[in-house]
Chains A and B, each alone.
Chain A
Amino acid sequence: MSSDPSVKLPKLTKVAIYAALIMLSIPAILPLLWMVSTSLKTNTQIFGSGELNLKALIPSPLETHNYPAALQNMPFLLYLRNTLLLCICSVVGAVVSSAVVAYGFAKIEFPGRNGMFAVMIATMALPGQVTMIPIFSLFRSLGWYGTYLPLIIPAFTSSAYYVFLLTQFFRTLPLEMSEAARVDGAGEWTIFQRLVLPLSKPALATCALFQFIGTWNDFLGPLLYLNDPAKYTLAYGLQQFVSHYGGFFAQLMAAATIFTIPIIILFFFAQKTFIQGISTTGGK
């Protein structure tokens, strides 16, 4: 039972492996199934504590009213619109700025480059709490409190993590092409835009995906900066929903399900991009 791929497994070992996989899958997946299942139950089904069996997992009859009810108590479509708006702005901002910065670090030589790169990497370990209060007071004095600007503008100053990822990627691109273009008199911006960007779609997609999910999930940002319920995002809205309707489990799970499903769908569509991106994080 080693991770050695060259060993053929005996039948009994295989059975043991499948048994272990199935046993361990239960705590991983059951809470999610339970979430969806609860969202499709009536209160009687939820509070009537019978014996727990497979039947308890599949609601019968199916109660679909929790979804419209949750949508009524929580302006889901408005929150969805707000969240998507923020996601799009911050994805564009973070990906474009990070790509530009990464090109500078990867392909252009200038004094202080390596030092700056090292400092940038080091900032990734700086806890956000240290800078949170002055940044808040800065944005507040600019009159940005209660607007989306504090949640969008910082994205346009690039993200150390994406810059790192893209720098690694740009360095692997063949130089001959850009040298040829340079001889032909092309500027760095042209090379970046015409040659490097089209070749970097997979890496850019990884950054875009992570930024999208990060913004979709972000709770602290909206908590600090948004004060008008009409501007709330899904993550913030769901938390507000809990504090007001904590006991309405069916509706709560319906809201949590609608909030989670898009991310899961996104995962299934972009599985490869996902896994590659995470694997590159792996500390090298």
Chain B
Amino acid sequence: MARRSNHKAKQYLTGYLFVSPWLIGFLAFTVWPFFQSIYLSFTRYNIVSPAKWVGTANYRMLLTQDELFWKSAWVTIKFAIISVPLAIVVGIALALLLNINVKGITVFRTIFYLPSIVPTVATSVLFIWILNPNIGLVNRVLEIFGIKGPAWLNTSPWAFYSLVMMSLWGVGGSMIIYLAGLKDIPVHLYEAATIDGANAIRKMRHITLPMMTPVIFFNLVMGIIGSFQYFTQAFVIAPNGGPQDSTYFYSLYLYNRAWKYLDMGYASAMAWMLFLIVIVLTGLVFRTQKKWVHYGG
């Protein structure tokens, strides 16, 4: 008996040793910073001198006096509302198209996927160039159709929609996930439906879409979280927020507050507001889950 419990204890210890890299990282880079950032959000802190307690001043300032806080939150939420559903619809449409078995389909899959692996900084630089108002590719193509294109990144609200367009260009990443989801739908469901005399539209409505809802749900949640972390593209294209702050994304404003103005206490309060907004939004999405997401057959 003693030997057995000894053996168990050794097994537990081995288990903890194996997961210890995660445990150490979790404590040092998640738990401690998590609580530390709550504390910092109630202080004035410029990183050079010690943090000074200011109570709820940062939050009061942010909620009642800081127009840019509201502006950047709105830009970000608007981006989530427009670009996330757009990416889902286009991603699924492309996946459906690419799921058809015709010759050469793998070449097309590669073509649609390729933009999503281009490094973010390179994509941003590329879009600065192709959206150039006078000699950029986009406006020159529009010219062929007799359309005079806008000044894109140099003018509001087009700068914002330019970034929406750019995110849509990288839709290939989620398209591949949808494609994998489509491949997982059992063929016998379609065969049974064919025998029952269902046409293509009914199959789509009653088999394909319901079976895809878990993947759609996953992409929806990740898309919302991703919008609030949207930073690199906005920073490379317009580090100060673009025309009339139209591309002043929340994370960009947070970065500027923390690292440009060294207002780290205030930025921590912003980080916590971001966390709360993300929790509320994903919470809302989770609550709708029962109504439309199908798990299992």
Binding site for B on A (CB under 8 A): 1-7, 9, 14, 17-18, 20-21, 24-25, 27-32, 34-35, 38, 46-47, 49, 51-52, 97, 100-101, 103-105, 108-111, 113, 116, 119-120, 123, 125-138, 140, 154, 156-158, 160, 163, 187-188, 192, 213, 216-217, 219-220, 223-224, 235, 238-239, 242-243, 246, 249, 252-253, 255-256, 259-260, 263-264, 267, 271, 275, 278-279, 281-284
Contact = CB atoms under 8 A, between A and B. Distances in A.
B15 interface: yes
Interface of B: 11-12, 14-19, 21-26, 28-30, 32-34, 36-37, 40, 47, 94, 96-97, 99-102, 105, 108, 110-112, 114-115, 117-122, 125-130, 132, 134-135, 137, 140-141, 143-144, 169, 172-173, 176-177, 180-182, 185, 187, 190-191, 194, 200, 203-204, 208, 214-215, 217-219, 221, 225, 228-229, 231-232, 235-236, 239, 251, 254, 258-259, 264, 267-268, 270-272, 274-275, 278, 282
B129 A252 contact: yes
A101 to B, nearest CB: 4
A90 to B, nearest CB: 13
Contacts of A27: 169
A239 B236 contact: yes
B292 to A, nearest CB: 15
A155 B177 CA distance: 26
A29 B118 CA distance: 11
B237 to A, nearest CB: 9
10 contacts: A3-B99, A5-B101, A28-B172, A104-B18, A131-B37, A140-B47, A157-B26, A220-B232, A239-B236, A253-B126
A20 B122 CA distance: 28
A101 B22 contact: yes
Given A100-B21, A163-B22, A188-B14, A35 B129 contact: yes
A137 B180 contact: no
Contacts of A52: 137, 140-141, 143-144
B129 A38 contact: yes
Contact of B228 (A119, A127, A163): A127
Contacts of B132: 249
A134 B33 contact: yes
B45 to A, nearest CB: 8
A18 B108 CA distance: 10
B203 A129 contact: no
Contact of A34 (B23, B111, B130, B219): B130
A133 B264 contact: yes
Given A29-B114, A49-B135, A101-B21, 6 more contacts: A2-B203, A25-B112, A47-B135, A110-B14, A116-B19, A158-B25
Contacts, number: 279
B19 A24 contact: no
Contacts of B117: 213, 263-264, 267
A158 B34 CA distance: 18
Contacts of A31: 115, 126-127, 130, 137, 169
Contact of B169 (A28, A111, A116, A239): A28
A275 to B, nearest CB: 6
A246 to B, nearest CB: 7
A20 B254 CA distance: 42
Contact of A21 (B22, B97, B143): B97
B215 A282 contact: yes
Nearest to A155: B25
A127 B274 contact: yes
Given A34-B137, A110-B11, A134-B40, A217 B119 contact: yes
A242 B128 CA distance: 10
Contacts of A131: 29-30, 33-34, 37
Contacts of B225: 125, 127
B229 A129 contact: yes
Interface centre among B100, B111, B135 (most CB of A within 10 A): B100
Nearest to B106: A271
A282 B26 contact: no
Nearest to A33: B137
A133 B267 contact: yes
Contact of B16 (A47, A110, A130): A110
Contacts of A32: 114-115, 118, 126
Contacts of A29: 111, 114-115
B97 A130 contact: no
A104 B16 CA distance: 7
B275 to A, nearest CB: 5
B34 A130 contact: yes
